[in-house]
Chain A
Amino acid sequence: MNWETIADVVGISFILAGSIFTLIAAIGAFRYDDLLARQHVATKPQVFSLIMLMFGVSLMVREASMTWTMMLVIGLQLVTSPISAHMMARAGYRTDRIDRTQLVLDELGEDIAEGDDLN
């Protein structure tokens, strides 16, 4: 048993974990019927499963250029995913595509009400 076999096995188990998480996220996105719940289930495991897949591929291919590209993709996803999720949720809130009565904690609503008082 040499190092290459170990790297292959660890990489393929990472890939398997990432694929299972992607499937779970897709089932969640399919079943939930609220925008925020769907976003929650779409963004979190998506980032995690992407990181898993990228690490797995890096371990299986074992080339410097591939590994660094995978790190770049992970970095891009980690930077862009919260921004786009935040902007989506905020746009949904401000354009009344979210049922505000269902929210347990509504900090944006409190802030908007406070801003209206200052107006």
Chain B
Amino acid sequence: MIYILTACMIMLVIAAILVTIRTVRGPTSLDRMVSVDMVSSILIGAVALLAALTKRSDLLALFIVLALIGFVGSMTLARFITPLDPEAHRIVGWRAERELEKQMSGRTDEHAPVHDMDVYDPDDVDFSGTNVDSDDVMETGPQHDGATPAERREP
């Protein structure tokens, strides 16, 4: 019995070494995360072997924790990974992209900036809910003396 379990453990160790080499080599971070996932499930297997050998019941929490940790890691990486090409940050359809190209094609450096943060434009729509003309800028919320939206647009 113990010889078979030892053989199983040796197989798991070889597997873990191979996957660790792949983790070091893996060209992208996604490859590495796949390998780390595999290492975590090999670890579950090794703890299971230990439980089978010693019949200890205090390893139960370890199984649950190991089963959950790998999932969280790979999920986080898959969610927050960025494209290799930094220009491709926004996902734009080809039609919208062509439109954008047409708008931007005539522009040179001599043109006025599209949006200058330093210039105060009173017509600018303010989404913050604060009235920048009021004395107390810390006071938030609509401050339009009970006027309806239509009245505010055309006083």
Contacts and interface: CB of A to CB of B under 8 A. Distances in A.
Interface in B135-154: none
Interface string A23-64: 101110110000100110010001001100110110011010
Contact of A119 (B42, B51, B82, B95): B95
Interface residues of A, number: 53
B11 A57 contact: no
Interface of B: 1, 4-5, 7-9, 11-12, 14-16, 18-19, 21-22, 28, 30-31, 33-35, 37-38, 41-42, 44-45, 48-49, 51-52, 55, 57, 60, 63-64, 67-68, 70-71, 74-75, 77-79, 81-85, 88, 91, 93-96
A95 B12 contact: no
A22 B42 contact: yes
Contacts of A103: none
Given A30-B18, A83-B75, 19 more contacts: A11-B52, A15-B8, A16-B8, A20-B11, A22-B45, A35-B28, A42-B38, A53-B48, A57-B52, A63-B57, A66-B60, A84-B70, A84-B75, A88-B30, A88-B78, A91-B30, A91-B79, A95-B82, A95-B84
Contact of B34 (A8, A15, A39, A60): A39
| Chain A at the B interface: SS class | helix
A35 B30 contact: yes
Contacts, number: 168
Nearest to A74: B67
Contacts of B19: 26, 29-30
Contact of A22 (B12, B51, B93): B12
B41 A77 contact: yes
User: Which of A22, A39, A70 lies at the interface centre, i.e. has the most chain B CB atoms within 10 A of its CB?
Assistant: A22
A10 interface: no
B11 A22 contact: yes
